[in-house]
Amino acid sequence: MPAQSQPVDLISKFYRSLTLTLGLSIALLSLWPLDELPRVIGSDKLHHLIAYAALSLPVSIAKPRETWLWLMGVIVFGGLIELLQPLSNRYAEWLDFAANCSGVAMGIVLGHWLSNQKSALD
């Protein structure tokens, strides 16, 4: 097995647990009640983009044929998170939802590219 394909193989092997862990982490971090929003380095839109790209990546590598179903599921998940945030002293923002959707697309494109690279190496 070429060394370049090892990370992709690991992601493929553990995609369910990776996806579940990332999804739960995103939900907890997005819905945990706060007295005030924390100050973080960088744009929160960038954080949304990275989080949802990471959430989409394992499935798009391990199950590329299920990408469209996954795309819809994660977009609904991101939308529900945004709708529920006002219940936990947070704000629902359309731009956050747009960043979530962009992250999903980015993760899927990157996952397909990595999967194709692995196939070319094998």
Q: Express each pLDDT in 65-92 by its tens digit.
A: 888 888 899 999 999 999 999 998 888 9
Q: Binning pLDDT at 50, 70 and 90, where does residue 120 land?
A: low
Q: Binning pLDDT at 50, 70 and 90, where does residue 41 land?
A: confident
Instruction: Let me know if residue 87 belongs to a domain.
Output: yes
Mean pLDDT of the chain: 89
* Mean pLDDT value across residues 35-61: 89
Please state which of the ranges 13-17, 26-30, 107-111 shows the lowest mean pLDDT: 13-17
Q: Domain tally for the chain?
A: 1
What was the pLDDT predicted at 5?
Answer: 61
For residues 34, 38, 42, 48, the Cα torsion angle rounded to the nearest 10 degrees is -10
What was the pLDDT predicted at 10?
Answer: 85
Instruction: Let me know if residue 68 belongs to a domain.
Output: yes
Instruction: Let me know if residue 39 belongs to a domain.
Output: no
Instruction: Let me know if residue 38 belongs to a domain.
Output: no
Q: Binning pLDDT at 50, 70 and 90, where does residue 95 land?
A: very high
Instruction: Let me know if residue 72 belongs to a domain.
Output: yes
The CA distances from residue 84 to 20, 34, 69, 79, 105, in Å, are: 19, 14, 23, 9, 23
Instruction: Let me know if residue 116 belongs to a domain.
Output: yes
Closest CA to 60 of 17, 8, 96: 8
Q: Residue 1, SS3?
A: coil
Instruction: Let me know if residue 24 belongs to a domain.
Output: yes
Instruction: Let me know if residue 26 belongs to a domain.
Output: yes
Give the range of the structural domain holding residue 83, as residue numbers without chain letter. 3-32+44-121
